[in-house]
Amino acid sequence: MKRTKFFYCLLVSALLTALSISCKEPVAITGVKLDKTELLLPIKGTATLTANVLPYSATDKMTWTTNNDNVVAVENKNTEGSVSRSVLTAKSAGTAIITVSTKDGKQSTTCTVTVVNPEPELISVEGGTFTMGDTDGLGFPHDFPPHQVTLSSYKIAKYTVTQQQWEAVMGTNPSHFQGNDLPAESITWYQAQEFITKLNELTGKSYRLPTEAEWEYAARGGNKSKGYKYSGSDDVDAVAWYRTNSGTVTHPVGKKAPNELGIYDMSGNVFEWCSDWYGDYPTPPETGTRRVSRGGGYLDYEMFSRVYTRISTAPGSVYYDTGFRLVHP
């Protein structure tokens, strides 16, 4: 009987202890919380950060500071209570740490803002007359006939648009292979146009896709052309990532040799959208259903990396091996 009473007392004691624990107030989470801890912005780009004091029922004014004046943070004075919002404006390339703190300075958190220049590095292409199309008899039927084209001078991007440039302007990164210096791919022709529109709004300039003729003239080396089969060499491995050497992935831009003008990756890595509708040579059609893309990609045989090889692609298509480069004006 005594043993039964002893165990009964232990059980009651355990129940009372458990009840006491369950009735205790939950531990309050205190501090400052930002809706983003990392941001990527283009020069002249803006973004809004929202901060909350924890617990959310608290009320405490907050202050916003930055360690680098390439990013300006201006608090929205209309916010009240535990919420504070600040509009960030990117002034120049670099990295800034945005700190938001309670007024007493006891609680704070940070956001790292990386500002990049979304504009491409441009190569000047002096105008001239060249033979466009299959000039060695090894191409596809749609690469014929070779014909004379005369172009005015223009500037073309040294590299294809990278994922960092794309994300800074568009705020998202749809590319299959992820990496700041990898070419932006899985981009439709229409999405490329959206990027260009936003970039031009940011910069006040007039970037665009190259015409098919501009693309080929630049790939051939312009008026410095040495008549190479691929852009910059007759050795495809020297200038192109393609089926044999790519490892079936894209590669950072600018890792192969440039062509005669100092332009990279016009053979291989990713196909590049042109502005033209696809049609028979020699006159580009004014309308159509498919757009021209050029240059070959990491999954394709070397024949697609030739400077004159052209393919037709539906403008709404998404491919892991299709990106674009820009020209100006």
| Order of all β-strands in the sheet with 291-294 | 310-313, 291-294, 271-277, 322-323
For 63, how many CA atoms within 13 A lie in the half-sphere containing its CB? 9
> What tokens were used for 34?
């930002």
> What tokens were used for 36?
């983003």
The pLDDT of residue 13: 54
Q: Please count the other Cβ atoms lying within 10 Å of the Cβ belonging to residue 15.
A: 10
Query: Which residues on adjacent β-strands are paired with residue 266?
Result: none
14-63: per-residue pLDDT in tens?
544 444 434 444 434 578 899 999 999 999 999 999 998 887 655 667 88
CA distance 210 to 279: 16
The pLDDT of residue 26: 41
Kindly report the pTM of this predicted structure: 0.88
Which residue ranges of the chain lie beneath pLDDT 70?
A: 1-29, 56-60, 78-81
| AA letter at 288 | G
> What tokens were used for 82?
């535990």
CA distance 7 to 329: 90
The pLDDT of residue 57: 57
CA distance 187 to 163: 11
Query: Which residues on adjacent β-strands are paired with residue 46?
Result: 89
**Thinking of the domain 31-116, which architecture would CATH place it in?**
Sandwich (2.60)
CB neighbour list of residue 194: distance below 8 Å, 6 or more residues apart: 170
The pLDDT of residue 60: 66
CATH number of 122-328: 3.90.1580.10
The pLDDT of residue 62: 83
The angle formed by the CA atoms of residues 207, 212 and 215, to the nearest 5 degrees, is 65
Backbone angles phi, psi at 188, to 5 degrees: -75, 165
CA distance 273 to 33: 42
**Distance set, CA 71 to CA 91, 108, 143 (Å):** 6, 19, 50
The pLDDT of residue 252: 98
**Distance set, CA 101 to CA 24, 105, 128, 217 (Å):** 30, 6, 60, 56
CA distance 204 to 141: 41
Tokens 């919420």 belong to 83
> What tokens were used for 320?
């892991």
The angle formed by the CA atoms of residues 150, 265 and 122, to the nearest 5 degrees, is 60
CA distance 61 to 104: 9
List the chain domain ranges: 31-116, 122-328
Instruction: Write out the H or E segment, with its range, that includes residue 151.
Output: strand 147-151
Indicate the DSSP class of residue 277. E
